[in-house]
Amino acid sequence: MKLLKAGDCLWPQVRRVLEEERPPHAAEGTVFAVFADPGRRTKFCGLASERDIAAHPNWIFADLVEHRSLYEVKPSTTLAACLGWLRKSGLEALPVIDAAGSFVGAVTQASLLRGLLKQERSLLEEARHYAAIAETERRQLERWSARLTELQTASRALLTVLAHTTLEKNLLQVAVEALTKLLEARYGAIGILDKAGALVEFVVAGISDEEAERIGEAPCGKGLLGVVIKEDTAIRLEDLTTHPQSAGFPPNHPPMKSLLAVPVSHAGRVYGRVYLCDKVSGEPFTAEDELLAMSFAHSLSLVLDNAHEMEEILKARASLDHLAHYDSLTGLPNRVLAIDRLKLALTQAHRQGCRVAVMFLDLDNFKQTNDAFGHSAGDGLLKIVAQRLLACVREGDTVARLSGDEFLLMLPDIEDIQDAATVAQKILTALALPCPVDAHQIFIGASIGVSLFPDDAADTEDLLRFADTAMFHAKQGGRNTWQFFAPAMNERVRHHSRVEAALRRALEHNELELHYQPQVEIKSGCIVGVEALLRWNSAALGRVSPAEFIPVAEEAGMIVPIGEWVLATACAQGRRWLDMGFSGLRVAVNVSARQFRHKDFIRRVRSILETSGLPPAMLELELTESLLMDAEGDVIAALSELRLLDVRVSIDDFGTGYSSLSRLKKFPISMLKIDQSFVRDVTLDADDAAIARAIITLGHSLRLKVIAEGVETEAQLEFMRLHGCNEMQGYLFSKPLPVEEFTALLHKERFVQVGGVQAG
């Protein structure tokens, strides 16, 4: 008999992948061969199994094989040696490398089993052939006996593989198919039971998937199969239908006559049963068939016994792994796991060009709290703190307990340093609430230090050290606060906070005011409109640019009340100008997306118009292009209501967005406003000139007026006049003016329609 080698038993489900790839969804039982050379895929790095991927679902293949010793065998390695290496390494598969160092394939316990079963079948066929010859040619008896000895040797090797293989459904499927073929049966099945006797695994051979689906149910063990289980005995029948304990077959089950059923049991415990029906030859099962089936079932019971032990070992390992990586008090990751996650996050952030924030948090006066209320209360406080920290971060963030009252937070993929500052402040706010511990209301604060990748450092050690340093400075600075490591970042964020705090007082202290910039009809030179522009002269900060405080108002949720104040103030001033006789003056007010989408926006516009007395036709609301292009049902409904009110709508900064002509023509708008970025270089840049001309043409084709924003030179004005732009606004005519100066300008210019008759 040829002795099987590793090269004869290669596992068929091997997939070649590259180190940088992530594990895909693959067929059950797939082994991944990892290579480093993306061109030829010749530099072999190791094997990764489904168990490896399940343990680390977010790792790339390089991480899965990086720290593992590379066991390998040659194509000529014996199966016994392969089994030895599998047991020693604890791996599910071994790579097979030829003499030239090239990857040939992989062997697994299942592939070794397949090879042995295949050889077993081949040897059995040879044995039967020689047995037939022996009946007529006794001179060949000795040779037949030698072949039979080889068959027994292969069988013992098969049992060795089975005894060291953990239970898997695919192994059971391979086994039942091999046994069915070995005994030349038409049908075979293995049923495995749990401790309560319920069927947990059932695999069949000789029945197609369609037939199994039509049958719809596995044998429940009430008839002869129940006898095999309850009495732990084998049954061999030439016609099972004649047996008094036969329960028959369910509907759609193919008819079967002869039966061989044996229990899968070991040391008094019955794990299940193996049964076969109807030999291909039509002959009944023999005593020799029963002996072989019993031998197989015994080996399978050893596998199940081994699987139970392996399950207990895996549970113990999982428990030890949890103890090694998680804090036993809070359940949070410990320092080891936190640093591992941080290293992985930095690797991903480096590839994707993202920021990572690292926070060191130390509870203020925790020792005094521990001393005052006891260590039990201190432990309870730490648990509450851990839960509050988790509630302050995203699902993908990490909160870890380092030691004592020190915690580490890792925030991957943040867009701006303000995001880290927001989380830090959110934590302080959460911890400021009283903590109910052992009938006490304990108050605790925290000092937080923040470092950023790649702004402060590019490696784990420096980021941790810098965050710790920043936390120390936070404690030195008065406790219960947070501190960035980089002073420049601290100043930027703190200035942002100062702006927000001062802005919250601006309305109450009457620090906001409106300036007005005229909108002039190019053809006549008349002031036909005015844009209300918000200005802020803070008592604490001085004059603050709109470019600085408007985004803060948006982020802090103050843009709605501020926008409402602007609208009310502008409408009231428009009414005063109307009372002065300036009847043709249109008042334009910018409206933010958040303000426009507010559920009470239309009601507030109607109320402000009624209160101010300004005719709706004299009010123009300037909306951003992106808001209209993203319009949903509520936005479109609001535009329709504004049309019914007779309020005009214009698109501000037109040309900077992504307007769709098919959608634009459906909106009830009256004017397009060319963004000043195009007007600025309209006489110098051919592209800007082309865009400006296109906007004017588009507006006129839709029967809309077009106004150019930011006109500062005579050349720009002449360009707009030449191409038919209706109106202009910019420093060439006037900068934005306080209300008194703008009123004086109206009187001075005298180009306004007064009482319906143009004065001049």
* Per-residue pLDDT reduced to its tens digit, 662-691: 667 777 888 999 989 899 999 999 999 999
- CA dist., res. 696 & res. 247, Å (int): 89
Query: What amino acid is encoded at 287 in this protein?
Result: A
Strand partners for 14: 31
Contact (Cβ atoms closer than 8 angstroms) between residue 673 and residue 653: yes
**pLDDT tens string 278-337:** 998 889 998 888 888 888 888 777 777 776 666 666 676 766 666 678 988 999 999 999
pTM over 0.85: no
Lowest mean pLDDT among 60-69, 548-557, 564-573, 581-590: 60-69
pLDDT tier for residue 253 given thresholds of 50, 70 and 90: confident
Confidence (pLDDT) at 537: 94
Task: Please indicate whether residue 227 or residue 171 has the higher confidence score (pLDDT).
Answer: 227
CATH of 335-458 among 3.30.70.270, 3.40.50.150, 3.60.10.10, 3.30.1050.10: 3.30.70.270
User: What's CA 58's distance to the chain center, in Å?
Assistant: 10
Contact (Cβ atoms closer than 8 angstroms) between residue 90 and residue 31: no
**pLDDT tens string 713-723:** 999 999 999 99
Q: What mean pLDDT, rounded, does the chain reach?
A: 84
| Spatial CA neighbour of 414 closest among 434, 392, 397 | 397
| Spatial CA neighbour of 310 closest among 526, 51, 485 | 51
pLDDT tier for residue 759 given thresholds of 50, 70 and 90: very low
- What would be the CATH architecture of the domain defined by 6-108? Roll (3.10)
Kind of pairing between the strands at 355-364 and 445-453 = antiparallel
Neighbours of 437 (CB within 10 A): 21
Tokens 């004086």 — which residue?
A: 744
- CA dist., res. 119 & res. 615, Å (int): 97
| Spatial CA neighbour of 550 closest among 491, 593, 606, 486 | 593
Tokens 């076969």 — which residue?
A: 276
Locate 534 and state its tokens: 């918000």
> 714 Cβ partners below 8 Å, 6+ apart?
732
Strand partners for 97: 103
Confidence (pLDDT) at 292: 83
What's the CATH superfamily of 166-310? GAF domain (3.30.450.40)
Domain range list for the chain: 6-108, 166-310, 335-458, 507-664+727-754
| Spatial CA neighbour of 445 closest among 388, 403, 492 | 388
CATH code that applies to domain 507-664+727-754: 3.20.20.450
Neighbours of 146 (CB within 10 A): 12
Task: Please indicate whether residue 485 or residue 246 has the higher confidence score (pLDDT).
Answer: 485
pLDDT tier for residue 221 given thresholds of 50, 70 and 90: low
- CA dist., res. 420 & res. 414, Å (int): 8
